[in-house]
Amino acid sequence: MSGYMESYRGQVLMRECDLLGHMNIQYYGSRISLAMCNMFHIIGMDPDDLKNGKRGLAVVQQDSRYVAELHAGDIIHMESAVVGSSKKTVTVDHRLYNSVDDGLVFASRMTAAYMDLESRKAIPLSDAIRLKLVDLITDGEDVA
Amino acid sequence: MNKLLPLYRGGVEAWECDQMRHMNVQFYMSKGSDAFAHLQNALGLSPSTIRATRKGLRFKTIRTQYKSEVHAGTALYGMGGIREVSGDILTGFIHIFDAIHGRLSAVYEFTADYADYDTDASLPLPGDIRAAAEELTDPHPDVFHPEPFAGTLMPNRPLDHMFESTRGSVDVWECDQFDHIEMRHVVGYFSDAATHIINAVGLTREIIRSRNLGSAALDYYSEFHAPIRKSTAILLKSGLIGAEKKIFRFGHNLINMDTGELAVTTTVIGVYFDMTTRKSVPLPKEFTDYPAEKLLKAQM
């Protein structure tokens, strides 16, 4: 899918499964967290920049759909794309797939605010990030 | 056909970093295990096949080299492949890269067999898996390949002067869907043992902190001799093999107390480093002053 890039690849652990015998919802979020390590890098926010610049992206809105179950041992990967931005925010679309058949299992669109980590307030995106976003932003596609 | 496979992508979470302010070795192994699951799938051992047959690949040996430390927030990716199929043993590798700095962070070179996950019996490699592995086999001359492990490996037997460095039982949440301990937690026991080794040579965490020192593993070689299952009582015994200039070596024996079997032997090479400059420094004198008669190398 144009504009989407691999942001996570791993597996489902037994301890992540709940009484229903499938991966508990909290661990979908853990995959987004790992995917965002890569998306920060893609949009020009490296760990040193976060640490030294005292800036970060914090999620302010998230819409998720759980499409299929995952079981212990399943192999999965996530593809993500930047699908929008505003003066202070970036919107990223994440899709999690079962790596055996590339079937969609989870989709989540989240908007994150660029944040001053000292004042704890949202601030305008830096010029460097804004420039990166020009090349990255793609039209997100609705998923089934 | 691309025989170098994308096997892992993710990053370093803040809670995966230890008191040395870098990702702890057990979380490298966790990411390596994720990668191994994708490698199995590439060989025809999909998760559903493994669940249905209750058979799959199992590590026999793992050589691990830690090439560069990674810190919270670092994006990582992993590549791997099969180097050789010999008899019923596969030789392969998984390399974890720091995506931010574009450098190799950790190297896993392993051998694996095909095993029954219920009986733990080693089985002949099935024809379809062998064919897939042979199709993927490549010496990968352009991919980093470590030199043979430097020095003698821990023998598969008890040695004198090993001390208790961990005692516990294998918790349910440390196990996979076949009730075997996850590799991450085996490495976690070795990691915990490092602090006991510091203590055994006459150092404390307070002394280490006052000297602004950290320690890091450079090289592990582990051999897996027997399974470790859910709720097994385990004992880890460790000992200093040798300590010279900047390099210390120690050995671990992970013992299944239910059976008395020596389940894992591991040889570790490591260094101390300055926590500010992140550069290796000469070993603390407590290491080099350790009584020669207690060094395991005399028995190896």
- ipTM for the predicted complex comes to 0.91
Q: State residue A70's pLDDT score.
A: 98
Where does a domain end: B89, B111, B146? B146
List, for residues A70-112, the tens digit of each pLDDT value. 999 999 999 999 999 999 999 999 999 999 999 999 999 999 9
Residues B178 and B81 in one domain: no
B295 and B174 share a domain? yes
Task: Identify the pLDDT of residue B195.
Answer: 86
Verify whether the Cβ–Cβ distance B9 to A40 is below 8 Å: no
A36: how many CB neighbours lie within 10 A of its CB? 25
Both tokens assigned to B119: 């009986």
Considering the domain architecture, whether residues B154 and B92 belong to the same structural domain is answered as: no
Q: Worst-scoring range by mean pLDDT, A51-65, B212-226, B276-290?
A: A51-65
Q: Is A14 an interface residue toward B (CB < 8 Å)?
A: yes
Strand partners of residue B266: B222, B252
Three-class SS state of B48: helix
A99 contacts on B by Cβ (under 8 Å): 38, 41
Residue carrying structure tokens 């999965």: A76
Q: Does A33 sit within 8 Å of B13, measured CB to CB? A: yes
B133 and B67 within one domain: yes
Region B269-290: mean pLDDT is 95
**Gyration radius of chain B over CA positions:** 19
pLDDT of residue A144: 44
Distance CA A112, CA A80 (A): 14
Query: Which single residue is written with the structure tokens 């609705």?
Result: A142
- Smallest CA-to-CA distance from B237 within B188, B183, B196, B176 is with B196
B278 and A CB contact within 8 Å: no
Residues B190 and B223 in one domain: yes
Residues whose CB falls within 8 Å of the CB of residue A101, separated by 6 or more in sequence, listed in order: none
B104 pLDDT higher than 80: yes
Question: Would you call A73 and B73 a contact, using CB atoms and an 8 Å cutoff?
Answer: no
According to DSSP, the β-strands at B89-98 and B103-116 are antiparallel
Please check whether residue A35 touches B, CB under 8 A: yes
| A57 vs A113: CA distance, rounded Å | 5
User: Where along chain A do its domains lie?
Assistant: 5-136
Task: Determine the Cα–Cα distance for residues B126 and B123; give it in Å rounded to an integer.
Answer: 8
Assess whether B130 and B50 both reside in one domain.
yes
Nearest to A10 among B8, B12, B172 (CB): B8
- Closest chain A residue to the Cα of B31, Cα to Cα: A10
Is the distance from CB of B151 to CB of B267 less than 8 angstroms? yes
Comparing CB atoms, the residue among B9, B12, B46 nearest residue A9 is: B9
Residues B97 and B37 in one domain: yes
Same domain assignment for residues B136 and B239? no
DSSP code, position B73: T
- Shared-domain flag, residues B76 and B119: yes
More confident residue, B2 or B71: B71
Residue-level pLDDT at B198: 87
Distance CA B5, CA B132 (A): 13
Could you list the beta-strand ranges (E) of B174-246. 213-224, 233-244
pLDDT at B280: 96
Q: Which of A46-55, A116-125, B191-200 has the lowest mean pLDDT?
A: A46-55
Burial class (CB in 10 A: 0-12, 13-18, 19+), A135: exposed
Q: What is the extent of the structural domain holding B138?
A: 1-146
Question: Among B104, B123, B146, which residue terminates a domain?
Answer: B146
Architecture of domain A5-136: Roll (3.10)
Best of B31, B177, B178, B181 to substitute, by most chain A Cβ atoms within 10 angstroms, is B177
Of A52 and B161, which is predicted with more confidence? B161
Side-chain half-sphere CA neighbours of B221 within 13 A: 16
Among the candidates B125, B146, B167, a domain finishes at B146
Give the mean model confidence (pLDDT) for residues B246-259: 96
Q: Which of residues 63-82 of A touch B (CB under 8 A)?
A: 71-75, 77
Report pLDDT digits (tens) over A13-49.
999 999 999 999 999 999 999 999 999 999 988 777 6
- CATH (domain of B97): 3.10.129.10
Nearest to B75 among A37, A50, A99 (CB): A37
Closest CA to B39 of B103, B129, B128: B129
When pLDDT is averaged across residues B241-259 and rounded to a whole number, the result is 95
Using DSSP, state whether B6 is helix, strand or coil.
strand
Interface check B132 vs A, CB under 8 A: no
pLDDT given at position A141? 66
| Tens of pLDDT, residues B221-237 | 999 999 999 999 999 99
Buried residues in B208-241 as b, exposed as e (16+ CB within 10 A):
beeeebbbbbbbbbbbbeebbebebebbbbbbbb
Domain tally for chain B? 2
Distance from CA of A76 to the nearest CA of B (A): 9
Rounded to an integer, what distance in angstroms lies between the CA atom of residue B274 and that of residue B2? Answer: 42
Give contacts of B12 with chain A, Cβ < 8 Å: 37
| Run of H or E residues at B129 | helix B127-136
Statement to judge: residues B139 and B224 lie in one domain:
no
C-alpha distances in Å from residue B114, one per residue of A10, B33, B44, B148: 21, 16, 12, 25
Mutate to test the interface with A, among B38, B57, B68 (most CBs of A within 10 A): B38
pLDDT value at A140 more than 80: no
Does residue B18 share a domain with residue B72?
yes
